[in-house]
Amino acid sequence: MLIRKLSTFLHATFHTQVRCTQAKKMKLIILTLFFTFNLIAQTKNQFNSDMINIIADQNIDTEKLTIKLVEGFGWNITFYDLFRENEIIKDNFPKNQGIYTLVINYSENLIYTELVLYKTDPKNEYLEFDFYNENNRIFCRIKSDCSTELNKEIVMNELDLEMKKVLETVNSPKK
């Protein structure tokens, strides 16, 4: 009842104060719909495979994005690239249970790492990454079927000064 009274009041006010023609009303409705659909249908990049789904909004340059799992610590490590150069790397997922490190890099200066425990063979794993940019920060919603500690929303962090120095030393040419 309250909604009907409010609607009647707004309708009467609109017609008495503005005296708008039908064409102007229609233009207003079309413009409102256009802007609404434009906001709802933001462009997203999407990459799919049997085990991985990656979604990124239009503010994320997926060329700068890499995702990998790393097995081992120290000198004896194995890299499993999952996403690189705008492609999901197929058939490059760990085959054994164990402890891995998920490493997400964006633009060489933003990074996120997380320890991942696969208690069983991760052959039934399905990972989903949903990247978006908000307030000049890059966030990602991660979902995992097999590793519950990955089911979270994260923010990409800049490398600290000490880590940048280590990487510069490693990447600098040998004399």
When pLDDT is cut at 50, 70 and 90, the band that residue 118 belongs to is: very high
102, 150 Cβ separation under 8 angstroms: yes
Mean pLDDT of 65-75: 90
Burial label, 53 (beta-carbon count in 10 A; 0-12, 13-18, 19+): middle
**Which pLDDT does position 8 carry in this prediction?**
65
Q: With 90 as the cut, is the pLDDT of residue 65 above it?
A: yes
pTM score, whole prediction:
0.69
Please say whether the dihedral angle defined by the alpha carbons of residues 37, 130, 159 and 168, taken in this order, is positive or negative: negative
Report the distance separating Cα 15 and Cα 161, nearest Å. Answer: 64
Query: Using CA atoms in the order 147, 127, 61, 173, what is the torsion angle rounded to 10 degrees?
Result: 60
Domain over 44-171 is classified CATH 3.30.70: no
How many CB atoms are located within 10 Å of the residue 59 CB? 13
The SS3 call for residue 92 is: coil
Phi, psi of 17, deg, nearest 5:
-85, -40
Q: Which residue has the higher pLDDT, 109 or 53?
A: 53
Mean pLDDT of 44-70: 93
Report the distance separating Cα 110 and Cα 133, nearest Å. Answer: 13
**Which pLDDT does position 160 carry in this prediction?**
76
102, 79 Cβ separation under 8 angstroms: no
